[in-house]
Chain A
Amino acid sequence: GAVVSQHPSRVICKSGTSVKIECRSLDFQATTMFWYRQFPKQSLMLMATSNEGSKATYEQGVEKDKFLINHASLTLSTLTVTSAHPEDSSFYICSVTTGHTGELFFGEGSRLTVL
């Protein structure tokens, strides 16, 4: 299966700062990547779909200016949480799909804590 690397795995930041999370597809070119958010003991909440070379498609209720997504290459997508606040503290997970088979592979996740 696809190998998806996510970095950093944990980040602690002060309120008001911005944090960037990277998601890399290591063994195939991903035209589409997804970003999810997961609250404790809850399932995955899709935030946005990231398409290489174009603007991300955000889900309803997700602030585009707060969660900046860039998919500059076929192997890298980044999520930047801008002006982070304590309510942004969460587990963020990226995923990639192989497209033709329908399989979805996840990164290891990034735990963000905003103080």
Chain B
Amino acid sequence: QKEVEQDPGPLSVPEGAIVSLNCTYSNSAFQYFMWYRQYSRKGPELLMYTYSSGNKEDGRFTAQVDKSSKYISLFIRDSQPSDSATYLCAMSGVVYNFNKFYFGSGTKLNVKP
């Protein structure tokens, strides 16, 4: 079983739609949860960072962490064509001695004008 599972998509939505991206994980020690956006031929860009459970909102983006279910989500409101990219979830579990982050395989999102 992979540490982190993420549906690779592709996910195609019309402009203005609400997008829901999800990851599940198996290690209950994970405490730090991140979502990255990666455009083609570019490095991943940190979108959202959450510690432990709960919600975090930043503009059109909302990240949710449900540690009891080992499930994290990223919601994108009023999606735009510029949101078309691959979205990676990532997580880690140790504060000062971590040397490895676990990544989902990425979900490719296409927002159609």
Which of A's residues lie within 8 Å of B, judged by CB? 1, 4, 6, 32, 34, 42-44, 46, 49, 57, 91, 93, 97, 99-109, 111
Contacts and interface: CB of A to CB of B under 8 A. Distances in A.
- Can you list the 3 inter-chain pairs with the closest CB atoms, starting with the nearest? A102-B32, A106-B43, A109-B43
Interface residues of B, number: 25
Interface string B52-82: 0000000000000000000000000000000
Contact of B103 (A32, A44, A57, A99): A44
A47 to B, nearest CB: 12
Given A103-B34, A103-B46, 4 more contacts: A34-B99, A44-B44, A101-B49, A102-B49
Contacts, number: 60
Interface string B77-90: 00000000000101
A108 to B, nearest CB: 5
A102 B49 CA distance: 9
B41 A109 contact: yes
Contact of A107 (B43, B95, B99): B43
Contacts of A6: 43
Interface string B22-51: 000000000110101000011111100101
A43 B49 CA distance: 19
A111 B40 CA distance: 11
B43 A108 contact: yes
A11 to B, nearest CB: 13
A104 B45 contact: no
Nearest to B106: A43
Contacts of A46: 100-101
